[in-house]
A = this chain, B = another copy of it.
Amino acid sequence: MARTNRELDRDQKREEILRAARELFLEHGYEGTSMQRLAARVKVAPNTLYWYFADKDALLIGVMKRVVQAGLGEYERRRGTALDAQVRWMLGLFWETRTLIATVHNRAQVSSEVRAWHDTAHRMIEKAIEAELRSRGLANGHEVAAARIMSFIAEGVVAHQSSKAEQTRIVRLLMHLLRLDVDDGALR
């Protein structure tokens, strides 16, 4: 549908704010980034941010949407890569945004908007994992639970700052359990 210049301007400004928020959230954390500071970065008065976003949580959701979208896009482009590379890439992605993941879990306790977004995002990510498992020949009727388990493990691994070595051990055991036989060398 046709959008007016007004709407385009507004979208551009929103994007500019989200870009700055993403940077600051990743560098100083959500709680370490005051609306004051964000406003200064975008060169507006603090209260102007509220013209574009309902509250700070809406800003968090906006940032996370972009992060997850970018991740799923990159995943599409990597279709068909070797399993071990794929797992390592996913863990790396979670790792980069681990502080934001912890923040989302924390805010989801308080904000129903954050919780709603979190649940939807989880569903999308798990669907992708399920499809991946099926295409790899693990269609044994447990894909849904398996995908959820894998997402929990991925979150656990990054939340607990497991070392590379430990990540390898955990992933290898999981692969073994899922009978996705992978040669030890590939994951080391």
Tell me if A80 is interfacial: C-beta within 8 Å of chain B: no
Q: Does A4 sit at the interface, judged by CB under 8 A?
A: no
Cβ B173 vs Cβ A146 within 8 A: yes
Decide if A131 is an interface residue (CB 8 Å cutoff): no
Query: Contacts A109-B29, A109-B102, A159-B105 hold; do A170 and B148 have CB atoms under 8 A apart?
Result: yes
Chain A residues numbered 11-42 whose CB sits less than 8 Å from any CB in chain B: 29, 31-32
- Which of chain B's residues has its CB closest to A155's CB? B156
CB of A106 within 8 Å of the partner chain: yes
Question: Whose C-beta in chain B lies nearest to the C-beta of A173?
Answer: B145
Complex CA distance for A173 and B160, rounded to whole angstroms: 24
Q: Take A31-B110, A109-B102 as given contacts and tell me if A170 and B149 are in contact as well, using a CB distance cutoff of 8 Å.
A: yes
- Chain A 120-164 per-residue mask, 1 if CB under 8 angstroms from chain B, else 0: 001000000000000000000010111011011101110110100
Query: Bound state CA distance, A152 and B94, in angstroms?
Result: 15
Question: In this complex, what residue of B is CB-closest to A146?
Answer: B173
7 pairs of A and B residues whose beta carbons are closest in the complex: A152-B156, A106-B106, A177-B177, A145-B173, A145-B169, A102-B105, A145-B170
